[in-house]
Structure 1
Amino acid sequence: MFLLLRDSEINVVGGLEGFIGLGWFHIGTLWIAQELRGDGYGTALLLAAEQEAVNRGCLHAYVFTYSFQAPGFYQHLGYEVFGELEDFPPGHRRYFLKKTL
């Protein structure tokens, strides 16, 4: 699944890439242009993708992220940590999060 966020000039300024399989939705990449972060676009993209995943029969979603990226963003939207790797990369953590849709 691919969702794109475009500005008024039709330039791509954000997007979400995910995979659906076995009743699960995997969020591979979610990005928003730096100047648009904090304005709700990431939340809107993720919620739209989750709804599409539900429409396609998914019951759950999961994502991997790093301590220097966005674990708090996903947790704020109902994702819970089910695993983590310390020092991956060194000095940081990799988080594995899931959510029931």
Structure 2
Amino acid sequence: MNITISPATEEELRSGELGRKLRHYNYGFVGEYPEQKYIRLNAKDENGRLLGGLRGFVFLYWLNIEVLFVEEDTRGTGLGSRLLAKAERQAIALGATNAKLDTFEWQARGFYLKQGYEEYARIDDYAPGFYLALMKKSLQAP
């Protein structure tokens, strides 16, 4: 069999064919589920200055938080908590029952613990000398 491996073209990326193939394969195991839905939040002050934001998506009923950032001079004001809570509410509306994220030890592990997340795994020396914490939270009422 003569197989060539090459970079995907822009058109191939736009078509989403590869993702559809994987989704249809997965359906055979877990049943049909909604396509990935994005959550994109920005927090700006009255002058339009970007103070923080959150980027994530819901896939297989999980909110996957990719980025949550708050400017240093705005930390401690509750903005991070507000962004996270809003994203969790949107995720629940999209069918999410759980949330997950990862954070380096120098980032926001303590913040996420206060928000009800638990560390379920750790990768030591992910960045030289630092661990990466993998965290999760149930979005269902106890």
Q: State if a TM-score over 0.5 links the two structures.
A: yes
Equivalent position of 1:60 in the other structure: 98
Q: What's the CA shift for 1:92?
A: 1.1
Match status 1:97 vs 2:96: no
Equivalent position of 1:70 in the other structure: 108
Counterpart-to-counterpart distance in 2, 1:56 and 1:6: 25
Equivalent position of 2:44 in the other structure: 6
Equivalent position of 1:27 in the other structure: 65
Counterpart-to-counterpart distance in 2, 1:63 and 1:21: 13
Structure with higher helix content: 2
Q: What's the CA shift for 1:7?
A: 0.2
Deviation larger for 37-46 or 83-92: 83-92
Equivalent position of 2:56 in the other structure: 18
- Name the structure, 1 or 2, with higher relative contact order (CA <8 Å, separation 6+): 1
Displaced runs of 4 or more, over 6 A = none
Q: Percent identity?
A: 37
Tell me the amino acid that sits aligned with residue 43 of structure 1.
S
Tell me the amino acid that sits aligned with residue 100 of structure 1.
S
3-state secondary structure, aligned to 1:94: strand
Equivalent position of 1:47 in the other structure: 85
3-state secondary structure, aligned to 1:10: coil
Counterpart-to-counterpart distance in 2, 1:43 and 1:16: 11
Unaligned residue ranges in structure 2 (runs of 5+): 1-38
**CA deviations over 1:40-73 (Å, ceiling 9, x no partner):** 1000000010011001110000000010111111
Unaligned residue ranges in structure 1 (runs of 5+): none
Counterpart-to-counterpart distance in 2, 1:87 and 1:18: 25
Counterpart-to-counterpart distance in 2, 1:3 and 1:11: 14
Counterpart-to-counterpart distance in 1, 2:51 and 2:113: 23
Q: What's the CA shift for 1:11?
A: 2.1
Structure with higher strand content: 1
The Cα RMSD (Å) is 0.7
Q: How many residues align structurally?
A: 101
